Amino acid sequence: MEKVKKFYLKYKSIFAYLFFGVCTTILNWAVYFLCYDTFTISNIISTIIAWIIAVAFAFVTNKLWVFNSKLFDKKTVFYEICSFTVARLATGVLDVIIMFLAVDIFSMNSNIWKLLSNIIVIILNYIFSKLYIFNKNNIK
């Protein structure tokens, strides 16, 4: 039992990141389908609304529970919000580029490449958050 506890504590932020990532994905889907199916908002607008809400949720959960950033002064929060949003936009663009190249240009399997692309995006988002966004040494 002690080994399990040590393993959990060593990788606690990764477990939390994966848990809240699943929650963020579910929220994204729920908001999208609520906007698109229930309120008949256009596909693109529904996607944008869902993305904004999902990124806001991910920011809060990553700040508080994944990376335990307890600094709430205006400068820190502003830095974290801006860098988090830029990183998510960058990995979102990367996802689109990967999918465009793999599926539209090279006619590869979309399901496999969506999975691979998501894995790359998840890893990059974690690295950006851990090393840059929620690292108090980066806030000047």
For the chain, 140 residues long, give each residue's pLDDT as a single digit of tens: 899 999 999 999 999 999 999 999 999 999 999 999 999 999 999 999 999 999 999 999 999 999 999 999 999 999 999 999 999 999 999 999 999 999 999 999 999 999 999 999 999 999 999 999 999 888 76
Amino acid at 50: A
Structure tokens at 76: 């820190």
CA distances from 95 to 4, 5, 35, 138 (A): 35, 35, 23, 26
Q: Is 70 helix (H, G, I), strand (E, B) or coil?
A: coil
CB-CB neighbours of 128 under 10 Å: 19
* H and E: helices and strands count for the chain: 5, 0
Residue 76 host element (H or E): helix 74-99
